[in-house]
Amino acid sequence: MNNRFISVLSALLFTALAVNIVHAKSDNFSTQQLSQVESIKKDALESDLAWSLVESLTTEVGPRMPGTPSDKAAVAWAVAKFNAMGFDKVWTEPATFPKWIRYSESAAIVSPSPQKLHITALGNSISTPKAGIQAEVIEFETLAELESAPENAAKGKIVFINYRMNRDRDGNGYGPAVQARRSGAIVSAQKGAVGYVMRSVSTAHHRFAHTGGSHYKDGVTKIVSSAISNADADQLHRLIALGKPVSININVQAKSMGEGTSYNVIGEFTGSELPNEHVLIGGHLDSWDLGTGALDDGAGVALTMAAAKLARSKGQTKRSIRVVLFAAEEFGLWGAKAYVKANKKRLNNIVAAAESDFGAGRIWAFESNVHANSLPVVRDIASMMKSLNVEYIGKNAARGGPDLIPFRPFKIPAFGLEQDGTDYFDYHHTADDTLDKIDPANLRQNVATYAVFAYMAANAKTRIIGKNLLTK
């Protein structure tokens, strides 16, 4: 079946489900509010607002690497869109970060079977000399295997870690795989290597290499840090397995540019009764430079902006709804860290927070992380998501998106609106992260779910509280 047909079919199905639901009474919401939720859901499932936003962002702005002119254009884009959408307050807050840019990269097997490799520099990588570096490759299956190798095991060689990431709906393969990206160059240098290349943090079969943040450590020699596509990693592995020495050339030209500045962009619909208390939803505005950052995280930006607008469409909500588009997430959560620092005294005003940063797949589950006293409200919200095929996990242990990590010490009420990420790591951080990978029907289902969440958390009779409050 083609996507368009599936879109039409699922839109019809949702509409049919939405109109047939009869709701039980709730202590937290009036009957009128519950019928407004149904109406918002229906509108969201017919709305192309999120699509038009992500289309505009990825087309008119394109890639949004922190600190570049395109990133600046994205900030201006977000301010203009928030204003055009009628948000009551729109503002920016600065964030600084170590700036890095890529010029070029290439690689090839030099011997015994010369051929091109599809490679990307990892974020923060140093440059090689202009002619590149050339050396014999030594392969390890995992970062742990490299760590336990003897001193000088990789002396004068290029380390190749060939760890295969597993595919799963919840993306649990990413955590174990990403360690080799973050610190592979450090450990390789400690074992005497002159360069580092890894199999992409990826579940794909295509020939795109996946970039992403990497680090160096003071006192350890900096060596080039790079990743090849999975198909190229398989090829290299087969060649090495034949037993002859395999030499490759890697040429990366990139530069650290000192401190860069960007901005969190914030749009708020002001609440009628408790304007200081607010729901916080959002995504990150920046992206890597290889693709156009459609899945990561143009979708999250667009769907939370659209959801806030729909949640406000029945009139002012009791509490405010705030959309935060975080800066410089890809370089290390710099916007989120700056937000927490600048708003530390006001974090207790957050009644519910959720970040969308896992692509644009359907939301299949809802999870909370709140004080036990707030679980009845959470269950009411979850019950209104059922017709969207969203189940409540109920462990009350949501982690929130990456930009909510700096909020964790404050134990704000965090939520996970869990997307199906089965194919997310086929595209993540590649040149192939483009608009065509977003399914419009799935995007609308995301908007509907976020709109239900924002409307209900903003209007609940008693506010949702986090585990930081009323606990001993």
Residue 304 beta carbon to Zn ion: minimum distance, rounded to whole angstroms: 13
Residue 296 beta carbon to Zn ion: minimum distance, rounded to whole angstroms: 4
Q: Please pick, from the candidates 286, 296, 355, 433, the single residue that binds Zn ion as defined by CB under 5 A.
A: 296
| Rounded Cα–Cα distance for residues 433 and 427 (Å) | 5
- Restricted to residues 91-150, the positions that interact with Zn ion (CB under 5 A) are none
Residue 290 beta carbon to Zn ion: minimum distance, rounded to whole angstroms: 13
Which CB atom, from 289 or from 297, has the smaller least distance to Zn ion?
297
DSSP string, 80-139: HHHHHTT-SEEEEEEEEEEEEEEEEEEEEEEESS-EEE-EEEPBTPPPPPTT-EEEEEEE
Question: Strands 119-121 and 158-161, how do they pair?
Answer: unpaired
Which CB atom, from 50 or from 460, has the smaller least distance to Zn ion?
50
- Which residue in the block uniquely carries the two structure tokens 């999870």? 367
- Restricted to residues 332-371, the positions that interact with Zn ion (CB under 5 A) are 357
Residue 329 beta carbon to Zn ion: minimum distance, rounded to whole angstroms: 6
Which CB atom, from 232 or from 433, has the smaller least distance to Zn ion?
433
CA distances from 307 to 197, 407, 453 (A): 41, 22, 9
Which CB atom, from 132 or from 282, has the smaller least distance to Zn ion?
282
| E runs forming strands in 288-435 | 319-326, 350-355, 363-369, 391-392, 414-419
| Rounded Cα–Cα distance for residues 380 and 384 (Å) | 7
- Specify the stretch interacting with Zn ion by CB under 5 A; choose among 66-74, 131-139, 290-298, 383-391: 290-298
- Restricted to residues 4-23, the positions that interact with Zn ion (CB under 5 A) are none
- Specify the stretch interacting with Zn ion by CB under 5 A; choose among 157-165, 197-205, 288-296, 445-453: 288-296
Helix (H) / strand (E) element for 179: namely helix 174-190
Sign of the CA dihedral with 79 first, then 443, 358, and 432 last: negative
| C-alpha distance across the termini of the chain, in Å | 55
- Rg, Å, the chain Cα set: 23
Which CB atom, from 139 or from 297, has the smaller least distance to Zn ion?
297
| Rounded Cα–Cα distance for residues 190 and 82 (Å) | 48
Residue 179 beta carbon to Zn ion: minimum distance, rounded to whole angstroms: 18
CB neighbour list of residue 315: distance below 8 Å, 6 or more residues apart: none
| Rounded Cα–Cα distance for residues 200 and 181 (Å) | 8
- Specify the stretch interacting with Zn ion by CB under 5 A; choose among 38-46, 247-255, 297-305, 432-440: 297-305
Which CB atom, from 428 or from 444, has the smaller least distance to Zn ion?
428
Which CB atom, from 268 or from 357, has the smaller least distance to Zn ion?
357
Count of residues interacting with Zn ion (CB under 5 A): 3
Residue 439 beta carbon to Zn ion: minimum distance, rounded to whole angstroms: 18
Which CB atom, from 277 or from 357, has the smaller least distance to Zn ion?
357
What is the maximum span of the chain, computed from C-alpha positions, in angstroms? 74
Residue 355 beta carbon to Zn ion: minimum distance, rounded to whole angstroms: 9
Residue 43 beta carbon to Zn ion: minimum distance, rounded to whole angstroms: 27
297 near Zn ion (CB under 5 A) = yes
Which CB atom, from 267 or from 283, has the smaller least distance to Zn ion?
283
Residue 459 beta carbon to Zn ion: minimum distance, rounded to whole angstroms: 29
Q: Which residues bind Zn ion (CB under 5 A)?
A: 296-297, 357
